[in-house]
Amino acid sequence: MDIIPNIGIDSLTGCAPLSVQFYNFSIIDTGISAITWDFGDSTSSTTTNPIHIYQTTDTFSVSMVITDELGCTDSIFFTDTIIPTFPEIDVSTTDTLICLGNSMNIINNSTGIGLHHFWDFGDTSISTDASPQYSFSDSGEYNIKYILSDTNQCTDSITISQKVVVQAPVAYFTNSPLIDLCNGDTVIFTDSSYSNIVGWEWAFGNGDTAMQQNPTYHFDSLGTYDVRL
């Protein structure tokens, strides 16, 4: 008695989780005693025409073993592979607070097959680069959306919330006395900078520094000093 194994499948690729219908088209002279499908993902079935769901993205090879009522067996390996796909987003940004005029740095390690990228920066600007370098033109808070799709049009998305863009600080200060100090005089430096300032660093032109907002300083030697904030 002859067994001519043959199988059919309704889909080779799609978005994971991927549901696949398998068909037994085998030609057999006697009745079928047993049938075993191996789905290539460490699972199997003894159903004649099973439906199997592939949960992960990978490449799977399918085989079937069929036994007739006389105990004769034959097997077949499906010549094509089943490839469920789904893009996996892995993105990060280096800064939550961005100075106006500076670029936002995006690190994109997303994976998938035939990826397409779409960024919406929340200010009507978009990009299709994988890791765009973007500079906001106005200060404010922005929700940045990223949509990732693959060759099967499977999509995933993420929103990076509340990227805060601030005006870069403008440094300005005054000092008293202004000029012509006498040896031993103490100078009072007053910070008049503006924007959202959280730190100060003064350099007094002689190697000394200070981190206060409004420091006082005594110069030990006569001379001309370039003070920087």
Determine the Cα–Cα distance for residues 205 and 134; give it in Å rounded to an integer.
37
CA distances from 127 to 134, 146, 207 (A): 9, 10, 46
**Residue 61's CATH number:** 2.60.40.10
Residues 17 and 72 in one domain: yes
Residues 179 and 140 in one domain: no
Residues 161 and 98 in one domain: yes
Question: Helix, strand, coil % (nearest 5) of the chain?
Answer: 0, 50, 50
Amino acid 35: pLDDT? 94
* Residues in the chain, pLDDT under 70: 1, 162-163, 165-168, 179-180, 184, 196
Residue type at 69 in one-letter notation: E
Of the three residues 85, 115, 132, the one that is the final residue of a domain is: 85
**How many Cβ atoms sit within 10 Å of the Cβ of residue 161?**
12
Residues 159 and 103 in one domain: yes
Residues 136 and 197 in one domain: no
Residues 24 and 69 in one domain: yes
Residues 7 and 67 in one domain: yes
Determine the Cα–Cα distance for residues 192 and 38; give it in Å rounded to an integer.
75
Question: Is 79 inside a domain boundary?
Answer: yes
| Tens-place pLDDT, residues 96-115 | 777 777 888 889 999 999 99
Question: Is 9 inside a domain boundary?
Answer: yes
Amino acid 1: pLDDT? 56
Q: Please, which residues bridge with residue 86 across strands?
A: none
Amino acid 171: pLDDT? 82
Amino acid 166: pLDDT? 64
Q: Contact, 43 vs 34, CB < 8 A?
A: no
Residues 81 and 14 in one domain: yes
Q: Contact, 96 vs 163, CB < 8 A?
A: yes
Question: Is 226 inside a domain boundary?
Answer: no
- Element containing residue 210 per DSSP (H, E): strand 209-210
Report the number of distinct structural domains present in the chain.
3
Beta-carbon contacts of 166 under 8 Å, excluding residues fewer than 6 positions away, are: 97, 98, 99, 100, 139, 195, 196
Q: Which tokens hold the place of 40?
A: 């290539």
Of the three residues 85, 117, 148, the one that is the final residue of a domain is: 85
Residues 73 and 95 in one domain: no
Residues 14 and 76 in one domain: yes
Query: Domain range for residue 143?
Result: 91-166
Question: Is 227 inside a domain boundary?
Answer: no
Determine the Cα–Cα distance for residues 20 and 7; give it in Å rounded to an integer.
13
Amino acid 103: pLDDT? 84
Question: Is 204 inside a domain boundary?
Answer: yes
Residues 57 and 97 in one domain: no
Residues 61 and 23 in one domain: yes
Question: Is 225 inside a domain boundary?
Answer: no
Question: Is 52 inside a domain boundary?
Answer: yes
Of the three residues 85, 115, 143, the one that is the final residue of a domain is: 85
